[in-house]
Amino acid sequence: MADLQNIAVRIIKEQELVIGPLAWTEAGKVQGLNVSSREEARVEFIDADHGKVIDRLVAQYERLFGRASHEVCREAAASLIAGLSPAEIPASLR
């Protein structure tokens, strides 16, 4: 679980570099994800399927900012997904 939380935070931080604080606002709209603290860069999953929450997070950014935003998410998570088994990697990051 901690690995996927780190992936979510990394994705949000990378999006923040591109779109600013709006990245945290948009992450807060994702079903199953609670952005508990922007200042501390903390998020919590409130949905049992963490992979699907990551997929929804990626989709949220892509819906607003297009395919390039999806690629930013994939690149942000690349080093973190290396330690996961293929079954653990959310579909949107494969």
User: What was the pLDDT predicted at 47?
Assistant: 85
Paired strand residues for 44:
34
pLDDT, tens digit, 9 for 90 and up, residues 4-62: 999 999 999 999 999 999 999 999 999 999 998 778 888 999 988 999 999 999 999 99
Q: Which residues contact 14 (CB under 8 A, 6 or more apart)?
A: 72, 73, 75, 76
Q: Answer whether residue 1 shows pLDDT above 60.
A: no
CB 15 within 8 A of CB 73: yes
pLDDT value of position 2: 63
- Per-residue model confidence (pLDDT) at position 12: 97
Q: What are phi and psi of 45, to 5 degrees?
A: -85, 130
For residue 45, what are its two tokens? Answer: 């999953």
Q: What is the pLDDT of residue 83?
A: 86
State the pTM of this model.
0.93
